[in-house]
Amino acid sequence: SWRRIQEIEAPKEKTPEPPPPVYDAPSIHEQISDVECGEGEPAHFEAVIAPTNDPNLQVTWFLNGNPVSASSRVKMINDFGWIIMDISATESRDSGEWTCIVSNEVGEAKSSANLNVSSKESIIFDSMQPQSLERIMEMEAEKPVPDEAPPKIFDPPQITVHLQKPVDLTEGDSTHLEARFTPIDDPSLKVEWFRDAKPLFHANRYKMVQDFGFAILDILHLFAQDAGEYTVKITNSVGEASSSTVLEIASKETLLLQPQDEGKAKAIERLEYNLHLKPEEKTVEEQKTVPVFIEPLSAPVTCEEGDRVHFTARYEPLNDNQLQIQWYLDGKPLKTGSRVKTISDFGFVVLEISPSYPEDSGEYTCRAINKVGEAVTSTQLKCNPKQKIITKSQLPDSMSGAYKKIIDIEAPKLPAPEKSEFEYEAPRFLTQLQSLTNLSEGQLAHLEARVEPVGDPNLSIEWFHNGQPVGHTARMKTIHDFGFVVLELIPVEPQDSGSWVCRASNKKGQAETSCDMEVKGMGGIISDWQSTAEGKDRIEKLEEYIHRPRDELDEPVREFDAPYFTQNLTDLGQMNEAEATAFTCVLQPIGDPSLHIEWLHNEHAIPYSNRIYMSNDFGVATLLIKHLIAEDSGEYKCIAYNSKGKAETVGHIEVASIIQIDAPQIIQPLVENIDGIEVLFLC
């Protein structure tokens, strides 16, 4: 085995490595061919190459000279001498020259082919329903525009049926005022209501209707102040008409003292009478018995403070509803509460006290009483109070010696003999304070000296500045310990300059040491210029401009001319309801603060409305109507005026109503009557 192991572990001779194989330059045996397909269809390119076993062989695809990599649409295969490229869904951008280049270390070969992708039309112009195309084109063809009818001229309004005066009106009633007028189809016609010459507006009690030649005013829930003369005024561009009537309203009493419905009032009176009737008492002679305790209260009880006490007894009769149970303590009625509770039910009486107190001790009596007689039972309760202060030891007997030791420890001690006080000498300074003459404002000042005696409890240290005692401040810190006295000031200020004295005193005398302190102050306000000279010159020029004389500051008052229009309003012609339109004009002068613009419709001021917007910006005055209605027809006037004069311009508009009511026509006339046959008339 040893020889075998040596043979195995002996170094082996290296076998010479075979020389690397030499491959030929790549060649393409089958070229890729041209492909034509439609957009969205797959495309397939395929070629056969050699050599097949060259590991360094690389295959690259190009489209119009740009390299193409594999993706979700493009899949490339190179295996066993076959090179394949598949495009799953072609697009129009895939059209062009596709080139496959096969290369290795020796050389390269390539093959090209064209791909033509027919793109689909993005917009389909052909009809999807050719059988209906002719009919649709016929319906959408332009219709001949009929000649515009000349504008209709309306007569002045006339009231054919005047307002009628309502009678017997009482406060709280409703009334109806109605008038009829002509013409009924005039779009410029306007209906207004007035009470005592003051205009009425729509409200929750006032309902106004104007339609088909009727002018109606309904007033709901009349008040006394609604009385007066009511007038309806009808106006158009030609004239006006009006009709009036008077409303008289009888007011009601403020407080209603009489019933409003006699029948209901009598019914309520009968119900209230029956409510207070008492049923007739039936006298039934029942045999009453004297109450008896069949089980008296329990024997006297002795308890400790805080215990629960319970007394019980039984009595007869059980069915006497007039029997009363009463409890007494020492002859006085017992007061019940959260601690004391009593129960009497089914012939049992119970008294429960929880917790009990010493004041609950005494004689408890229960008395049962009815009309025939009474029964009494009593018992005693004794409640022993708890000890308020525990004077006995709570330690176990095994620790009885510890109790005596605690007493000895807590026993008062004899006062120790007073020690004779040590007498200290008069104080003296071993080192003196050093003067500080070169301090700048904001630095630290430190004064220090040594004093004797060190352990004297009566030694007092005092500091003086220019002869005045120094009090403690946030800037000052004083130390007196181990024979050293120290005074620190941080930061020092110019007022700290002067003479500083430290005085040490005790019962034997006193000693002093002094020094001088000089503090140089810093400038509080920096008056020197901190910026460059150019900045200073610029600021001086600005300040000279700001502080120039008053007559140079005042601007001359600008005079404006009287207003005039450079572009007048134009007639907008006929428009339909619900359309939007605008009147625009341009005027001068621009920038005049006293210039005012006013718009009128049929010589009436245009009220504020969410439909109508008026503006005047940079000399352009605009009246915008967002939603036209028939009442907007008529003349619009823009008036501009200032302190010099005024100017005006006029424009017109006609709004055609969407709803048109034609005159009635007979479509089918009546058929001639024939004798002897049933006749049916249809219209």
How many helices (H) and strands (E) the chain has is answered by 6, 46
Output the six-digit token pair for 671: 């058929």
The closest alpha carbon to 483, from 511, 456, 451, belongs to 451
Please state the separation of Cα 49 from the chain's center in Å.
75
Half-sphere exposure of 285 (CA within 13 A, CB side): 0
Is residue 93, in this structure, part of any structural domain at all? yes
Instruction: Give the single-character DSSP code of 610.
Output: S
8 A C-beta contact, residue 210 and residue 192: no
The closest alpha carbon to 564, from 593, 594, 591, 585, belongs to 585
Judge if 52 and 111 occupy the same domain.
Answer: yes
Q: What is the pLDDT of residues 467-479, one digit of tens each?
A: 999 888 888 999 9
Mean pLDDT value across residues 428-435:
92
The per-residue pLDDT for 366 is: 93
DSSP output for 569-593: ----EEEETT--EEEEEEEE-SS-T
First to last CA, the chain: 136
Rounded to whole angstroms, the Cα distance separating 84 from 248 reads: 106
8 A C-beta contact, residue 503 and residue 510: yes
What's the domain count of the chain? 5
20 or 118: whose pLDDT is higher? 118
The closest alpha carbon to 100, from 91, 113, 90, belongs to 113
pTM of the model: 0.24
The per-residue pLDDT for 135 is: 84
Is residue 550, in this structure, part of any structural domain at all? no
Judge if 434 and 505 occupy the same domain.
Answer: yes
Q: Using the predicted structure, report yes or no on whether residue 68 has a pLDDT greater than 70.
A: yes
Rounded to whole angstroms, the Cα distance separating 495 from 475 reads: 13
**Listed range (28-32, 112-116, 266-270) with the worst mean pLDDT:** 266-270
The closest alpha carbon to 596, from 532, 639, 649, 656, belongs to 639
Judge if 100 and 166 occupy the same domain.
Answer: no
Instruction: Please identify, among 118, 149, 184, the residue that sits at the C-terminal boundary of a domain.
Output: 118
Q: Using the predicted structure, report yes or no on whether residue 610 has a pLDDT greater than 60.
A: yes
Rounded to whole angstroms, the Cα distance separating 240 from 244 reads: 14
Is residue 392, in this structure, part of any structural domain at all? no
Is residue 453, in this structure, part of any structural domain at all? yes
Instruction: Give the single-character DSSP code of 546.
Output: H
Is residue 259, in this structure, part of any structural domain at all? no
Is residue 334, in this structure, part of any structural domain at all? yes
Where would I find the H helices in 466-586?
A: 533-546, 550-553
297 phi/psi in degrees, rounded to 5: -65, 155
Judge if 162 and 90 occupy the same domain.
Answer: no
8 A C-beta contact, residue 349 and residue 312: yes
Rounded to whole angstroms, the Cα distance separating 22 from 42 reads: 39
Rounded to whole angstroms, the Cα distance separating 241 from 83 reads: 101
Q: Where are the beta strands (DSSP E) in 441-542?
A: 445-452, 460-465, 468-469, 476-481, 484-489, 498-505, 510-520
Is residue 407, in this structure, part of any structural domain at all? no
Report the phi/psi class of residue 455: left, alpha or beta, with left for phi > 0 and alpha for psi in -120 to 50. Answer: alpha
The per-residue pLDDT for 671 is: 53
CATH number at residue 224: 2.60.40.10
The per-residue pLDDT for 555 is: 55
**Listed range (304-308, 387-391, 452-456, 515-519) with the worst mean pLDDT:** 387-391
Instruction: Please identify, among 354, 384, 414, the residue that sits at the C-terminal boundary of a domain.
Output: 384
**What are 585's strand-pairing partners?**
621
Which amino acid is residue 566, in one-letter code? T
Instruction: Give the single-character DSSP code of 226.
Output: G
Output the six-digit token pair for 412: 């008062």
Rounded to whole angstroms, the Cα distance separating 435 from 500 reads: 9
Rounded to whole angstroms, the Cα distance separating 461 from 209 reads: 106
**Listed range (147-161, 277-291, 641-655) with the worst mean pLDDT:** 277-291
Judge if 244 and 162 occupy the same domain.
Answer: yes
Judge if 571 and 644 occupy the same domain.
Answer: yes
Q: Which structural domain range is residue 66 located in? A: 27-118
Is residue 238, in this structure, part of any structural domain at all? yes
Output the six-digit token pair for 536: 């200073």
Percent of the chain's residues with pLDDT above 70: 88
Strand pairing class (362-369; 324-329): antiparallel
| pLDDT band, residue 282 (cuts 50/70/90) | very low
The per-residue pLDDT for 554 is: 55
**Listed range (105-114, 233-242, 399-408, 601-610) with the worst mean pLDDT:** 399-408
The per-residue pLDDT for 673 is: 53
The per-residue pLDDT for 400 is: 65
